Amino acid sequence: MDLVLNEEEQFIKKTAREFLEAACTTKLIRAMEDDPLGYPADLWGKIADLGWLGMALPEKHGGQGLPLSYLGLILEELGYAAAPVPFHCTMITALAISQFGNDNQSSEILPQVVKGDMILTWAIIEKNPRLLPETIKSKAEADGDSYIINGTKLFVESFNSSQKCLVACRTSQPSSSNEGISLFLVDTKTAGITEIPLINMAKEKQSKLVFNRVSVPKSNLVGKIDEGWPIIEQILDTGTALLCTQMVGSARKQVDLAIEYAKVREAFGKPIAAFQAIAHPCADMIIWVDGGQMLTYEALWRIDQGLPASVEVSQAKAFCNDKCLAVGHHSNIIHGGIAFMQEFDLNLWFRRTNAMTMKLGTSFEHRSRVAKALIDQPGYVRLGASMYELADSP
Amino acid sequence: MDFAFTHKQEKLGKDVREFIANNLTPGIREEMGGDGLEEGKRGPKVQELYKKIAERGWIGIVWPKKYGGQEGSRIDQYIVEEEFARVGLSVGGAGSGAPAIMAAGTDAQKEYFIPKLINGEIILALGFSEPRGGADLAALQCRAVRDGDEYVINGQKTFSTSAHHATHIYLMARTDPDAYRHKGISILLVPIDAPGITIRPMYTLQNNPKAPAGTTYATPQTNEVFLDNVRVPVSCLLGEENKGWYVGAMGLNLDRVGASRYLISVRRDEDIINWVKHNKLDEYAPAKDDAIRDRLAELWIEAQVSRLMTMRSMSMVERDMPFNYEGSAEKVWSPEHGIKTTEMVTQILGPYIQLMNGSEEAIEKGIFAHNLLASWVSANNHGGVQIMRDQVVRRGFGFPRGY
């Protein structure tokens, strides 16, 4: 048991902080909000050079094979910097391919990802945004050596800059043996895909995709036919834990901005930090972000250990959602009216943090998963003990 | 980062649980929980049990061997403490006095106090708060005047909870009235039977009816202590004269973290979830109520944060890192979470939670009701939550003092 970051972890975090402080200015963030591509290619190249893209990917494909918790530290700093890069969507798709793709898929795609030459994304969510198999209605039907995809996907990130997209489709009706969902790697330039941009709060590239008779070679199936749902669950768990690190970083920046502002802004003849009505919300914000960070680290650490982690992931996301929204509110109040002004920087983090609270599961969805583990499993709960096999007695 | 105990530590926890299952007899439980658990009070059967616990090497794990401890790790101590605290037994052997004595005491003081504090022969009553000095502790008025080889003490202390069965008062008094606030304060270890000490009980909300065993802050009584020309030898001084503020802080910081502090705040989460899972109120099953399920999950997640904050503090102590703001943060989050839980329970079980110990229809002897009252204490003792918020931002983030 050691919740203090070790030297290597501290070094990764510090290096990332320093690099991004210099490389990712608020000017760049603002420029990318209006940029058609949405990310700076040279920054992406530098990120590849630093080895971040290969950090958690297997060594045989050019990566470093390091734990996800290390990648989490990077994402936390990307969140802290509000870095406009398609890192999260590329990473969770690449991780899915490395874990569930076949050798051909991995050796074609992963080395390119590591070098920064390929951006990836994923398309699972549809009209009903809940992360459940029955919400997936896009269909893929076999046709000779291909599958033909028809359907609509929502909230797809950075599709405009991605070369490949991992798409979840229904291939059969659910049965006792599986959910009838399959995953396909789709070349983003394939004919029949219509991309409709979604104008969103974080001003990032997000799309609605309409698939109209999109043909995908059978060799692009990831995993086994009809057995994609357990893969999606893992993608979502890993993706959610990693998103939490980014959200924690982004919220932490809002806390730091509030603290900095409180110390320099004067009212009634003294810095407003001297007023407890300002100081105490700052204390709460620190406590909340620390809490979200520790829950998230625990979830990632469990995934790294190969331990079940779905409850810990949901604990982290539900807490981060609620508390990061509250951090935004407090930071706003401490800043006063200036926070609402576009040219003041706080909103860059405020909008992004808020957007992240809405992705990959709401607080209600995640608490419902936690409640299921707590209440519907037989036995007695005890803090610190397993959430997957409860005790026979209190 | 590492979120698991070692195999050896897991085994230690298992051993302690087995020991408790085999040794905590109904007779001992009865002696402990007769009319509410008073901290520090040990009957003959409990004393016998403590001997057995000591034989296993589970008392005073982190303390030096020469003072009766084991020189073990803080995490081991935490594991053992947690298991025993869950059944109402304290094996930490500390409180806020012991770490301060260890840090600032003379060899003679350490040799005399530490072994007996660990085995429970010495019980310190905290003599810090005064009627006019709690949150603003540095405003305290109690005077200790040097007179030859003695100090003569005059003053009044309040909320001295264990005074009526303590052996000593761990007393903060003003030794230099001309120095600025905290600069003129000293700590004295005053024998409770010194002439001139009068102890007057102050009864708490748990006095009538008495809280059932297992209640957090079940104590029915705290005390006022009057010191009237109390003479003690100068050897009772802990640390240097006029440096008492810093000596006291060493103990208080450690007092705000640890297994018992954490469990105080989260036991109710486990209790209400386990109750809801296994009980119904006639045909009504709260376990199937979606609103309640959502709130229970929320409480659980917050309790996990409480656990992780404690683990963070333990990790820091284990690494010999000083607390920056982490101990104070824990003393904000955990008690406030505990309060939220006890309040939430009222809205889950409704009118049953009015019913106190001994009432017909009371759930679990009214423990949830008594805990609701108890939660009031947790926000204010050992540093109120608003004072702790001040410390988080001042110590951790360089905020200016606003008053």
| Burial readout A224-253 (b: 16 or more C-beta within 10 A, e: otherwise) | ebbbbbebbebbbbbbbbbbbbbbbbbbbb
User: Quick check: A129 pLDDT over 70?
Assistant: yes
Contact criterion met (CB below 8 Å) for B1 and A5: yes
Same domain, A19 and A76: yes
- DSSP code per residue over A331-393: HHHHHGGGGG-TTSTHHHHHHHHHHHHHSS--HHHHHHHHHIIIIISSSB--TTS-SSS-BS-
Domain coordinates of chain B in residue numbers? Answer: 7-93, 124-242, 256-397
Q: Give Cα separations from B132 to A273, A327, B124, B137, B221 (angstroms).
A: 27, 36, 22, 9, 20
Nearest CA in chain B to A255: B397
| Burial readout A152-169 (b: 16 or more C-beta within 10 A, e: otherwise) | bbbbbbbbbbbbbbbbbb
Nearest CA in chain A to B276: A375
* Dihedral over Cα of B352, B353, B357, B359: its sign: negative
**Residue to test with chain A: of B2, B3, B288, most A Cβ within 10 A:** B3
CA dihedral A371, A372, A376, A377 (to 10 degrees): -110
Tell me which chain B residues have a C-beta less than 8 angstroms from the C-beta of A287.
329, 332-333, 392
**C-alpha closest to that of B295 among B287, B283, B285:** B287
Name the amino acid, one letter, at B31: E
Peptide bond between residue A217 and the one before it cis (omega within 30 degrees of 0): no
What pLDDT, on a 0 to 100 scale, did the predictor assign at position B248? 84
Contact criterion met (CB below 8 Å) for B142 and B174: yes
Dump pLDDT digits (tens) for A277-314: 999 999 999 999 999 999 999 999 999 999 999 999 99
Same domain, A278 and A370: yes
Dump pLDDT digits (tens) for A4-60: 999 999 999 999 999 999 999 999 999 999 999 999 999 999 999 999 999 999 999
Same domain, A136 and A149: yes
Same domain, A252 and A366: yes
> SS3 of A187, please?
strand
Same domain, A109 and A210: no
| Cross-chain Cβ contact B4/A380 below 8 Å | no
Nearest CA in chain B to A364: B294
Residues 6+ apart with CB under 8 A from A159: A121, A123, A165, A188, A195, A205, A207, A209
The reply to whether A385 falls in a domain is no
The reply to whether A392 falls in a domain is no
What pLDDT, on a 0 to 100 scale, did the predictor assign at position B340? 96
* Dihedral over Cα of A230, A231, A233, A234: its sign: positive
- Token representation of residue B166: 């303590």
Q: What element of type H or E holds A328?
A: helix A310-335
| Cross-chain Cβ contact B2/A367 below 8 Å | no
What pLDDT, on a 0 to 100 scale, did the predictor assign at position B43? 78
Dump pLDDT digits (tens) for A84-95: 999 999 999 999
Structural domain span for residue A361: 230-376
CATH classification of the domain holding A82: 1.10.540.10
CA distance B126 to B140: 14
CA distance A376 to A389: 12
CATH classification of the domain holding A248: 1.20.140.10
Q: Identify the segments of chain B with pLDDT beneath 50.
A: 35-40
Contact criterion met (CB below 8 Å) for B243 and B257: no
Same domain, A127 and A184: yes
- Token representation of residue A28: 């760049």
- Token representation of residue A221: 């199936």
Residues 6+ apart with CB under 8 A from A171: A139, A140, A141, A147, A180, A181, A182, A225, A226
HSE-up of residue A349 (Cα within 13 Å, Cβ side)? 32
Same domain, A191 and A320: no
> SS3 of B234, please?
helix
The reply to whether A78 falls in a domain is yes
**C-alpha closest to that of B226 among B203, B202, B201, B198:** B198
**Does any CB of chain A come closer than 8 Å to the CB of residue B300?**
yes
C-beta atoms surrounding B184 within 10 Å: 19
What pLDDT, on a 0 to 100 scale, did the predictor assign at position B33? 65
| Domain B124-242 homologous superfamily, CATH | Butyryl-CoA Dehydrogenase, subunit A, domain 2 (2.40.110.10)
Dump pLDDT digits (tens) for B141-156: 999 999 999 999 999 9
**C-alpha closest to that of A349 among A261, A254, A258:** A254
By residue count, chain B amounts to 403
**CB burial of residue B45 (10 Å; 0-12, 13-18, 19+):** middle
A72 versus B121: the higher-pLDDT residue is: A72
Residues 6+ apart with CB under 8 A from B254: B94, B96, B99, B317, B327
Provide the β-strand partners of residue A209. A153, A195
Which residue among B311, B316, B390 places its CB closest to the CB of A279? B390
Dump pLDDT digits (tens) for A363-388: 999 999 999 999 999 999 999 999 99
Name the amino acid, one letter, at B77: Q
Last residue of a domain, one of A175, A199, A227: A227
| Cross-chain Cβ contact A270/B9 below 8 Å | no
Distance from CA of B319 to the nearest CA of A (A): 9
The reply to whether A16 falls in a domain is yes
| Cross-chain Cβ contact B332/A283 below 8 Å | yes
Q: What is the pTM of this model?
A: 0.95
* Mean predicted lDDT score pLDDT of chain A: 97
Same domain, A155 and A25: no
Residues 6+ apart with CB under 8 A from A48: A54, A114, A115, A116, A117
- DSSP code per residue over B111-167: HHHHHHHHHTS--EEEE--BTTBSTTGGG---EEEEETTEEEEEEEE---TTGGG-S
- DSSP code per residue over A258-310: HHHHHHH-EETTEEGGGSHHHHHHHHHHHHHHHHHHHHHHHHHHHHHTT---H
Given 3-state DSSP classes, what are the helix, strand and coil percentages for chain A, each rounded to the nearest 5? 55, 15, 30
Q: Give Cα separations from A121 to A208, A209, A244, A253, B253 (angstroms).
A: 13, 12, 18, 26, 48
Dump pLDDT digits (tens) for A316-363: 999 999 999 999 999 999 999 999 999 999 999 999 999 999 999 999
Distance, CA of A51 to chain centre: 19
Same domain, A308 and A281: yes
Q: Is ipTM beyond 0.95? A: yes
Same domain, A85 and A202: no
| Cross-chain Cβ contact B389/A380 below 8 Å | no
Same domain, A254 and A222: no
**C-alpha closest to that of A313 among A296, A331, A292:** A296
CA distance B72 to B70: 5
| Cross-chain Cβ contact A1/B4 below 8 Å | yes
The reply to whether A382 falls in a domain is no
Tell me which chain A residues have a C-beta less than 8 angstroms from the C-beta of B17.
none
Q: What is the mean pLDDT of residues A183-205?
A: 97
Name the amino acid, one letter, at B328: S
CA distance A226 to A247: 33
B256-397: CATH topology is Butyryl-CoA Dehydrogenase, subunit A; domain 3 (1.20.140)
Counted domains in chain A: 3
| Cross-chain Cβ contact A1/B287 below 8 Å | no
- DSSP code per residue over B4-24: S--HHHHHHHHHHHHHHHHH-
The reply to whether A101 falls in a domain is yes
What pLDDT, on a 0 to 100 scale, did the predictor assign at position B294? 98
CA distance B308 to B151: 44
Distance from CA of B90 to the nearest CA of A (A): 19
- DSSP state, residue A67: -
Last residue of a domain, one of A197, A227, A257: A227
Q: Give A376-383's long-range contacts (Cβ < 8 A, gap of 24+).
A: A380/B270, A380/B274, A380/B277, A381/B270, A381/B273, A381/B274, A381/B277, A381/B300, A382/B270, A383/B266, A383/B269, A383/B270, A383/B303, A383/B304, A383/B307
CATH classification of the domain holding A177: 2.40.110.10
Same domain, A255 and A356: yes
| Burial readout B109-123 (b: 16 or more C-beta within 10 A, e: otherwise) | bbebbbbbbbbbebb
Class of domain B7-93: mainly alpha
The reply to whether A388 falls in a domain is no
Q: Give Cα separations from B377 to A22, B159, B216, B222, B373 (angstroms).
A: 49, 11, 10, 12, 8
CA distance B393 to B329: 10
**Does any CB of chain A come closer than 8 Å to the CB of residue B38?**
no
**C-alpha closest to that of A293 among A348, A253, A334:** A253
Last residue of a domain, one of A227, A250, A285: A227
- DSSP state, residue B323: P
